[in-house]
Chain A
């Protein structure tokens, strides 16, 4: 009996340490990602100029010119287009689901948005090539149709589930008294949404937009398939160009590990990593601000 009891206690202790070490492992993983990618990326600047990397758009590794401005611009521009197109649409759908939709319609929209999130990004890229690139070429008379606009449109669709689900959650978590008080004062439903509910849910909506930005800027395959993959600085929204992610995919296979060219690609992924870490800190600030209401 005493033996049996000590075995139970031993399991109890072992389980506790297993759980703690799993949690510590998660922290160690993110630290080692920053470390390894950081070391590899920063060693670019042993050979290349840091100023040129961020301010020049002349990318010609064969002659030792590593100006990554084109790719940085491409990533920021596609992300901006995605937020401008997808943000309002997603927010509208979230308001609809939280405040207007009859329960049956809502129970259809929930799984539909989940399905949007489940569609693989290569499939978005595939539809992007077949449909959007073609459509852009026909409507704008651009030579190819590949470019920032095609990338932005595909990303706008891909961020919808993020925007919708987080905004809807924050609208739903508002106290019912807000809405009741406003309606009791004679405000219409739209006045209540616009003047009361949306301002109160703003921190949550901000979180949704920031996470959508993180998703858009890091998205690789879908963008790579429709951006055109030219290292020229974008002359228009419909001219082929590149983003940080698409250029990594294009050039990683052709460059030997440890070369300056290869390191420059790691530097680009370090930029992506740092941007996503900054966005996470912004989310934390926005959540904390929401909590202090």
Chain B
């Protein structure tokens, strides 16, 4: 084959590969929403097998897990970006973060089970689930914080320090506000991932749900939407319309993820553009 023909062939194959991925994604979304949206009804949310409690638990556990992971993740990220000297100990912390990021989520789940269910003897609780979920968020938050703090131009920091501000003042008034859009994008990604997490939560938050709506007791068991989809699909209870509940739950999960990916990240990108443009 002549090089020019090979070039043309390769180009069309690469177009084909890329478009097949886009088509696959589009088909995924249409398929899930197409099956699930017709199942949305008042009954689906608030009926006897309704998912409103699961929906509430999903956000409640997400919120608690962010409360646990944000301070530590952002603190460690700032340390790595601004304070850490280039030595063995810093390298160890970096290695820990990278390792934590690849730990399979089921291993987090079992670890959380040892700590919260066995050692503390709490049983399956929203608190234990959220704290274990925080471990999943942590490495991503560290990385995102470090990246967005590093992306702040060096002369911003130098100008602030030259004016006599100390490091803490510089961080609070100059570096963090500038790094905020990047940080927010990262937190949105973390939240989207945490909302869909299942393997961690079946071993720590359990597969039961409070019959009382908006039960905020953190020591109760709390099944989330994603866990519910797994439970309904793998052990369908006889006598319920499990297939429809599964279809609706999958669609609801996708909608929540879409909201986090598109609707929340767009305003942040807009803000970022304005911040850097002026």
Contacts and interface: CB of A to CB of B under 8 A. Distances in A.
A235 interface: no
Given A26-B138, A245-B104, A18 B18 contact: no
B103 A30 contact: yes
Contact of A120 (B142, B189, B198): B198
Nearest to A92: B17
Interface in B117-176: 117-118, 135, 138-139, 142, 166-169, 171
A228 to B, nearest CB: 12
Contacts of A12: 166-169
Given A100-B11, A101-B18, A16 B83 contact: yes
A23 B75 contact: yes
Contacts of A277: 99, 102
Given A126-B246, A272-B104, A221 B230 contact: yes
Contacts of B22: 108-109, 112
Contact of B79 (A19, A108, A220): A19
A8 interface: yes
Interface centre among B11, B104, B111, B253 (most CB of A within 10 A): B104
B63 interface: no
Interface in A193-246: 193-194, 211, 214-215, 217-221, 224-225, 245
A279 B195 CA distance: 26
Interface residues of A, number: 89
B93 A125 contact: no
Contacts of B275: none
A121 B196 contact: yes
Interface of A: 8-9, 11-12, 15-16, 18-27, 29-33, 36-37, 40, 89, 92-93, 95-97, 100-101, 105, 108-109, 111-123, 125-127, 129, 131, 157, 160, 164, 187-191, 193-194, 211, 214-215, 217-221, 224-225, 245, 248-249, 252, 257, 265-266, 269, 272-273, 276-277, 279-280, 283-284
B106 A26 contact: no
Given A33-B111, A215-B102, 16 more contacts: A12-B168, A30-B100, A33-B108, A111-B262, A117-B193, A118-B189, A118-B192, A123-B32, A123-B196, A126-B32, A127-B31, A190-B3, A190-B6, A269-B107, A272-B104, A276-B102
